[in-house]
Amino acid sequence: MICFNKCDLDVDNKFDYLNKIYSNIGYKVIKTNAKTGEGIEEIKEILKDKTTVFAGPSGVGKSTIFNKVQNKVVMQTGEISKKVSRGKHTTRHAELIDIDNNTYLVDTPGFSLIDLSFIDIEELQNCFKEFNQYSLGCKFTSCLHYKEKDCMIKNKVEEGIISKDRYDNYIKFLTELQQNRRY
């Protein structure tokens, strides 16, 4: 599930665009505003009988949502830093909280960078589930869907079947992994 919080800040209606991209590849997408309560009941319903980890960048409202969906533990929340316009690290540890019968939550510290170094270059494509059904159609079995000819993934991007933005993110991650690869 992907939760887009602080929907009151979405003046450009990017939520609708992102909702379409992620819904098309099978993610449940929820629009929330933890301060006003928008989307909180939907999240509560989805959380029932599951173990759920709240993960995301610092300052997106994970702890605020955490506090809204349960009443057993109050997590500290913070404001966006005026100096750097980013979230401050408020949550310092991850803890499994039993909030109801067979329902558990983990609020995690936020992050500002994503380290992908543990992913093998050849495995990165598996993190983009929309590639799975098409990658076997590539001419080369070792296709990284970047500079190769007769690449089914690139064809599906050109046809609009695979999101160009998602593909561009894949290429950014791939390039970063290739530049940082140690031989």
Phi-psi region of 162 (alpha: psi -120 to 50; beta: other; left: phi over 0): beta
Q: Is the predicted pLDDT of residue 100 greater than 50, yes or no? A: yes
- The pLDDT score that the predictor gives to residue 109 is 80
**Where along the chain do the CATH 1.10.40.50 domains lie?**
121-180
pLDDT at residue 96, as a whole number: 87
CA distance 173 to 70: 36
Averaged pLDDT of the chain: 87
Q: Which fold has domain 2-107?
A: Rossmann fold (3.40.50)
Instruction: Give the mean pLDDT of 103-107.
Output: 88
Fold (CATH) for 121-180: Ribonucleotide Reductase Protein R1; domain 1 (1.10.40)
Q: How do residues 23-79 score in pLDDT, each as one tens digit?
A: 999 999 999 998 899 999 999 999 999 999 988 888 888 888 988 998 877 766 655
The pTM (predicted TM-score) of the whole model is 0.78
DSSP per-residue codes, 1-58: -EEE--GGG-TT-HHHHHHHHHHHTT--EEE-BTTTTBTHHHHHHHHTTSEEEE--BT
pLDDT higher than 90, residue 113: no
* Position 106 confidence tier, pLDDT thresholds 50, 70, 90: confident
Least Cα distance to 33 among 75, 71, 65 occurs for 65
What amino acid occupies position 103? T
pLDDT of residue 48: 94
* pLDDT average, residue stretch 136-160: 95
Query: Where do you find CATH 3.40.50.300 in the chain?
Result: 2-107
